A and B are shown apart, each in its own frame.
Chain A
């Protein structure tokens, strides 16, 4: 039995991960914005076999609440074996390109709030002397593209942050996993036309849970995105700037 805290628990990927952990009989602590949705998820996880499920409704954009929230999670579970940081928002790239305030808000949610939360979690895990921290970044963070560079740059920051955190915590026995999903068929991408590149949240969750079990550093889900992003990163900037990606 593991003690698992999930931040951004109402996201489709987080829900799919939670179902796998529930079926294993793990104890769960969920954080999300809407209490009634957390309640629906908690009910599902309980039926599926979770040892216990507790939840707390919080807007993770509110940074001041982070230290207390993380304390609550540690107290509720009696220590945390795995923390999954899964909150974020894609935003409308057209609006984000025009509206500076919206862009700043998007970056604040996707990068600043995740970094703040990870800091609180990292410090408690370091004191605890172990645990796994998994953070959902994105393939979009591997290179800025005109189609979603605001979101992408926030995720790039998050990838760098997680890399540094991993380096810092490695000797303390705390494992940090950077998850880079490609396109996933979730409410976040409901407006997009679905192609063969889209993965189901269930398939992505399976990859995430396995990577946590195996204490991987960085995982692309599905795995073929590693190759795609290698190609995209290899294109020289003077060529890349002409492409419509």
Chain B
């Protein structure tokens, strides 16, 4: 039942879906699942980590209640299906902001924990999981455990970044950040090549809370790595005290665009224009937090721009600058083009989860329209470079990495495995363990 696909709309699978609405019914539903169960929030994971072929999705969006808030400390306790958009609508008028936010606010707290998400402030603050104080975990044996760094610490570590495999998180307590208001003072700097990135980035990270770079991945040679570097801080002074409601996107793509729209020529044109949208070396402005953090949220269902075949996201972290250059060279040579190439450094604050993706180094994120073999071959070449460098791939954005690549990416996998709930699984998990849906159906799993 139900057409639940991932944000990349690839792959497409058959699965059942059971909506949850009350914390007290949660364990009953989990046990009632046919085949393995997997919690699912807003389905913004790009690949198959939010899919459960042949199994059951436990839809958590009905668990969207706030439980408590301390206006002095900014500690919020809420159910796992509350979205970051709802937290922002609540927190901003009260002078608070998310401690860490990914590039979309349409994710749930449960999803943010399960992927130990990161944001533009990783170099300063680390991952979302660092701001999770505790949560309740319901397991298929009927137990309910409160997990924190001091209670059930092993399950706490396994669940943060644990891809929803360790049980169902029903509520969580997170620390919000006190901010002077809803505005961001932003600077964007032109980077003529990758050396500009390394130079500007090093100079920016001390004084700027948020940093990220957009790279024109089709530029080669001297221009390799050209793009725009963005940095921002919460703006002092409140300005106008706006209290934005949780509003739906203004635009919405109502249908799939034909495949040529995001073809190589249009990407080349877009990238060239986008790079030139700023002629000055530096531009400074004060903007509302939404366009700074969530430019793509303004277009609902933007994933449909990639046509019926969907698209593949790919994000890695590598420890060294040389590999970044090699990756960019490989992408530029292949000429498949990608609109959304984002480059950023991760700082050295440790991620709390056993399977957390962020670790010190450089992270590069891309998306490609799915053009079959050709696209998969390019991504395989990129995987090999990452593996050689001792880097990792991000499960939330993956639909195709090999079991070997997964094991190389997550050296603490052996410590994680014993904490997986026997009734929980996902398409992603079976794939990176080398299991197939067919094996699952025949009862081999």
> Chain A residues in contact with chain B, CB under 8 A?
12, 23, 36-37, 40-41, 43-44, 47-48, 185, 187, 190, 193-194, 202-203
Instruction: Please give the distance in Å from A223's CB to the nearest CB on chain B.
Output: 14
Residue of B nearest to A47 (CB): B66
Q: Which residues from chain B contact A194 at a C-beta distance below 8 Å?
A: 2-3
**In the complex, which of the residues A12, A23, A47 contacts B62, with contact meaning CB atoms closer than 8 Å?**
A12
B19 touches A47 (CB 8 A): no
Tell me the complex Cα distance, A63–B18, Å: 33
Instruction: Please give the distance in Å from B274's CB to the nearest CB on chain A.
Output: 32
**In the complex, which of the residues B3, B24, B246 contacts A202, with contact meaning CB atoms closer than 8 Å?**
B246
B68 touches A190 (CB 8 A): no
Tell me the complex Cα distance, A85–B156, Å: 43
A43 touches B24 (CB 8 A): no
Q: Which residues from chain B contact A41 at a C-beta distance below 8 Å?
A: 65
Tell me the complex Cα distance, A36–B69, Å: 20
Tell me the complex Cα distance, A187–B69, Å: 27
Instruction: Please give the distance in Å from B144's CB to the nearest CB on chain A.
Output: 15
Tell me the complex Cα distance, A20–B21, Å: 18
Given contacts A187-B19, A193-B2, A194-B3, contact A44 B66 (CB under 8 A): yes
Given contacts A187-B19, A193-B1, A193-B2, contact A44 B67 (CB under 8 A): yes
B66 touches A48 (CB 8 A): yes
Q: Which residues from chain A contact B90 at a C-beta distance below 8 Å?
A: 23, 48
A37 touches B22 (CB 8 A): yes
As a 0/1 sequence over residues 6 to 22 of chain B, the CB contacts with chain A under 8 angstroms (1 = contact) are 00000000000011011
Instruction: Please give the distance in Å from B172's CB to the nearest CB on chain A.
Output: 14
Residue of B nearest to A44 (CB): B65
Residue of A nearest to B82 (CB): A44
Given contacts A43-B65, A48-B66, contact A12 B21 (CB under 8 A): yes
Tell me the complex Cα distance, A202–B248, Å: 10
Would you call B23 an interface residue if the criterion is a C-beta within 8 Å of the partner chain's C-beta atoms? yes
User: In chain B between 84 and 121, which residues have their CB closer than 8 angstroms to a CB of chain A?
Assistant: 89-90
Number of interface residues of B (CB under 8 A): 19
Q: Which residues from chain A contact B24 at a C-beta distance below 8 Å?
A: 36
Tell me the complex Cα distance, A203–B247, Å: 10
**In the complex, which of the residues B1, B2, B67, B89 contacts A43, with contact meaning CB atoms closer than 8 Å?**
B67
Tell me the complex Cα distance, A190–B56, Å: 14
Can you name 15 A-B pairs with beta carbons within 8 Å?
A12-B62, A23-B89, A37-B22, A47-B67, A47-B68, A47-B69, A48-B90, A187-B62, A190-B18, A190-B19, A193-B1, A193-B2, A194-B3, A202-B246, A203-B248
Q: Which residues from chain A contact B62 at a C-beta distance below 8 Å?
A: 12, 187
Given contacts A48-B90, A193-B2, A203-B248, contact A40 B66 (CB under 8 A): no
Residue of B nearest to A203 (CB): B248
Instruction: Please give the distance in Å from B277's CB to the nearest CB on chain A.
Output: 34
Tell me the complex Cα distance, A79–B90, Å: 28
Q: For the A-B complex with A12-B21, A23-B90, A36-B24 known, give 4 more contacts whose Cβ atoms are closer than 8 Å.
A: A43-B65, A44-B65, A47-B67, A202-B246
A40 touches B2 (CB 8 A): no
Interface of chain A, main secondary structure: helix
Instruction: Please give the distance in Å from B140's CB to the nearest CB on chain A.
Output: 21
Tell me the complex Cα distance, A202–B82, Å: 13
Tell me the complex Cα distance, A128–B2, Å: 48
Tell me the complex Cα distance, A65–B58, Å: 37
Tell me the complex Cα distance, A43–B79, Å: 12
Tell me the complex Cα distance, A31–B3, Å: 35
Residue of A nearest to B90 (CB): A48
Q: Which residues from chain B contact A48 at a C-beta distance below 8 Å?
A: 66, 90
Tell me the complex Cα distance, A221–B253, Å: 21
A40 touches B69 (CB 8 A): no
Tell me the complex Cα distance, A226–B444, Å: 52
User: In chain B between 36 and 57, which residues have their CB closer than 8 angstroms to a CB of chain A?
Assistant: none
Of the listed residues B21, B65, B68, B89, the one surrounded by the most CB atoms of chain A closer than 10 A to its CB is B65
Q: Which residues from chain B contact A12 at a C-beta distance below 8 Å?
A: 21, 62
**In the complex, which of the residues A23, A44, A47, A187 contacts B21, with contact meaning CB atoms closer than 8 Å?**
A187
Tell me the complex Cα distance, A194–B16, Å: 12
**In the complex, which of the residues A40, A190, A203 contacts B23, with contact meaning CB atoms closer than 8 Å?**
A40
Tell me the complex Cα distance, A154–B216, Å: 61
Residue of A nearest to B2 (CB): A194
Instruction: Please give the distance in Å from B21's CB to the nearest CB on chain A.
Output: 5
Residue of B nearest to A43 (CB): B67
Tell me the complex Cα distance, A97–B438, Å: 40
Instruction: Please give the distance in Å from B1's CB to the nearest CB on chain A.
Output: 6
Residue of A nearest to B22 (CB): A37
Instruction: Please give the distance in Å from B356's CB to the nearest CB on chain A.
Output: 29
Q: Which residues from chain A contact B1 at a C-beta distance below 8 Å?
A: 193
Q: Which residues from chain B contact A202 at a C-beta distance below 8 Å?
A: 246
Instruction: Please give the distance in Å from A35's CB to the nearest CB on chain B.
Output: 12
Instruction: Please give the distance in Å from A85's CB to the nearest CB on chain B.
Output: 21
Tell me the complex Cα distance, A166–B328, Å: 68
User: In chain B between 399 and 442, which residues have their CB closer than 8 angstroms to a CB of chain A?
Assistant: none
Q: Which residues from chain A contact B23 at a C-beta distance below 8 Å?
A: 40
Residue of B nearest to A16 (CB): B64
Query: Shortest 7 CB-CB distances between A and B: which pairs?
Result: A44-B65, A47-B66, A44-B66, A47-B69, A190-B19, A187-B21, A48-B66
Instruction: Please give the distance in Å from B83's CB to the nearest CB on chain A.
Output: 10
Q: Which residues from chain A contact B22 at a C-beta distance below 8 Å?
A: 37, 40
Q: Which residues from chain B contact A193 at a C-beta distance below 8 Å?
A: 1-2
Residue of B nearest to A41 (CB): B65
Q: Which residues from chain B contact A43 at a C-beta distance below 8 Å?
A: 65-68
Tell me the complex Cα distance, A190–B22, Å: 14
**In the complex, which of the residues B3, B65, B89, B246 contacts A40, with contact meaning CB atoms closer than 8 Å?**
B65
Residue of A nearest to B67 (CB): A43
Tell me the complex Cα distance, A12–B18, Å: 16
Q: Which residues from chain A contact B65 at a C-beta distance below 8 Å?
A: 40-41, 43-44
Tell me the complex Cα distance, A237–B21, Å: 40
User: In chain B between 232 and 246, which residues have their CB closer than 8 angstroms to a CB of chain A?
Assistant: 246
Tell me the complex Cα distance, A193–B65, Å: 25
